[in-house]
Structure 1
Amino acid sequence: MPPSRRSLLSAGIGTLAAGTAAVGLVESGLVPGRTMMHTALGLTGENGVVPEVAPGPELSGTFTSAERAGAQVAWTVAYPPGSPTDAALPVVLALHGRGGDHRSAFDQLGLDRFMAAAAADWPTPFALVSVDGGASTFWHRRRNGDDPQAMLLTELLPRLAERGLRTDRIGLIGWSMGGFGALLFAAARPDLVGAAVVVSPALWREYSEVRPGAFDGPTDFAANDVFADQRPLDGLRLRVDCGRDDPFAAATREFVAGLTPPPAGGFQPGAHTVGYWRRMAPEQLRFLAWNL
């Protein structure tokens, strides 16, 4: 016997209700798929496009880092177009994300070309410096003696000063793992950091939530908990950006709420992706140029 009109209607309403409930669960984060769904619906925003311009001059080098337990560390300095490589420019350190290295800021994000496209209009051109901080150190001292923060302070910055760059007040930009590292560095040395941009920072409120390998254990997590005391960041010229569909968005919102005054930046359509980071790069570099 074929189904009645009433039974078909009831089934349709049930399916619609189930579908609505499923969307609600995804939206609330109770089941996975929110970011995938929002990306498919175009709700995470457009991907940024690296400008098709020639970058300025670059210098690269390596050194054996005592602070990083004898690791061979590579670095690159990107200058604005037309700048000599001995120019006394202020420094912005770019701290890469997990799995990255000193080339990530340029080869992956294209920050040298974003800088080349806009530096002529900046009040304070700067040299953008990227260095190997370790693929998964999370930019803090680890139990094996690898200390990328100390490397920045005692090994990299003196080398940059020897090349004529200004290192008395520096800028920072970091994304994901590097965003966390930038917060750690700025909180430890607020006297040294003139301005900082933190992008999609890898933040967790509890050790039980931490991605494996980010910390050596609960004690290490507690010793590097940027939520524990946010007062050193008070008054810092700080910009924090995070995509609304980023897995770190909730923790980042909580962190931003604890800052005085509230930082620049905000929460835009986006996820934890290179496309989002590229889209945000022009305004973030401009922020540094106007606040160094």
Structure 2
Amino acid sequence: MSPMPMMNRRGVLALGLRAGLIAAAGTAAVAAVDPAPAAAAPGAATDPAGYATGSFVSAARNGTTVNWAIARPPGQTAPLRPVILLHGKDSSATSVMSMGVERFLADAVSAGLPPFAIAAVDGGNGYWHRRASGDDSGAMVLEEFLPLLSAEGLDTSRVAFLGWSMGGYGAMLLGSRLGPARTAAICAVSPALWTSPGAAAPGAFDSAQDYAANSVWGLTGLDGIPLRIDCGFDDPFAAATQQFIAQLPTPPAGGFSPGGHNAAFWSSQLTSELTWAAPLLTA
């Protein structure tokens, strides 16, 4: 794998600015659910800057219409590999992509990162796994969204996952299920982790059995996948995250730094996270 080109100071500043915009837009810990945009055929809404949106009816989510968005850096004609953004609770694809992600990608590529795409899709509040209701947002991502991204011209032979809170847990769960042959990297940011089913937040799991069936603790499927975990010292999940890191066979990248479970912390981490993931994804 060739080393990533060094970014100049102006490029780093541009990345930081766009990172703040993206994270602040889509990762508030408690936010109202965004109104869904009008349904459209996949890829129906596009613009010259490389931003596309659409929706589809998800069989895996019991016929729910889910919205998606893809951002590409401008001027890229070859198929790009995507970073899949997994949103947190009470968020959506619209919210995580609503503040100029395509401009961030333009700045990132100009600053020296190898080109990649960013894609997001509505997952609801089901914690990215099959629920007793039959709603399975994890299967939606792996069995419906990834094929849609291929149809939209992306290279899904290798993908990366990046998620906040509920999405941080989901990034590890779905990345492990896709496996190391196709998962290039996982960034779990402030992951929603509980050390026992009784400690889990209401609604995160249907039962103790559901918790056990979808736990990321001791998950061998993470072996061989580059993993980064970032968490704030003041995050309510910090203690569980420390315990989770301690039981991993290989220490992950990232670490703990000042901050809480909020957009300000996530904003501060996004530039370094995508800078870490991009060369792994595009190698």
Q: TM-score, normalised by structure 1?
A: 0.77
Ranges in structure 2 where 5+ consecutive residues have no aligned partner? 1-18, 23-47
2:95 maps to which residue? Answer: 104
Whether 1:59 aligns to 2:52 is: yes
Once the two structures are TM-superposed, the CA of residue 67 in structure 1 deviates from its matched residue by 0.6
**1:1-292 → structure 2 map (5 Å cutoff):** 49-50=20-21, 56-83=49-76, 87-107=78-98, 111-134=101-124, 136-190=125-179, 191-227=181-217, 229-292=218-281
- Secondary structure of the residue aligned to 2:157 is strand
Ranges in structure 1 where 5+ consecutive residues have no aligned partner? 1-47
Counterpart of 1:221, as a letter, is Y
Once the two structures are TM-superposed, the CA of residue 122 in structure 1 deviates from its matched residue by 3.9
Once the two structures are TM-superposed, the CA of residue 196 in structure 1 deviates from its matched residue by 1.2
- Secondary structure of the residue aligned to 1:167 is coil
Counterpart of 1:261, as a letter, is T
Once the two structures are TM-superposed, the CA of residue 112 in structure 1 deviates from its matched residue by 4.3
How far apart are the structure 2 equivalents of 1:215 and 1:112? 35
How far apart are the structure 2 equivalents of 1:105 and 1:158? 21
- Secondary structure of the residue aligned to 2:267 is helix
Runs of at least 4 residues of structure 1 off by over 4 A?
110-113
- Secondary structure of the residue aligned to 2:140 is helix
C-alpha contact (below 8 Å) 2:50/2:102 kept by paired residues: no
Assess, with a 3 A threshold, how the Cα gap between structure 1 residues 111 and 201 changes in structure 2: closer, same or farther.
farther
Q: CA RMSD in A?
A: 1.8
- Pick the structure with greater CA Rg: 1
How far apart are the structure 2 equivalents of 1:204 and 1:56? 41
Deviations 1:242-282 (A, max 9, x none): 00100001111111112232111000101000011111111
| % identical equivalent positions | 46
Counterpart of 1:62, as a letter, is S
Residues paired across the two proteins, number: 237
How far apart are the structure 1 equivalents of 2:232 and 2:106? 25
C-alpha contact (below 8 Å) 2:142/2:174 kept by paired residues: no
Deviations 1:72-122 (A, max 9, x none): 0110001113335xx4001111000000111222237x6544433222234
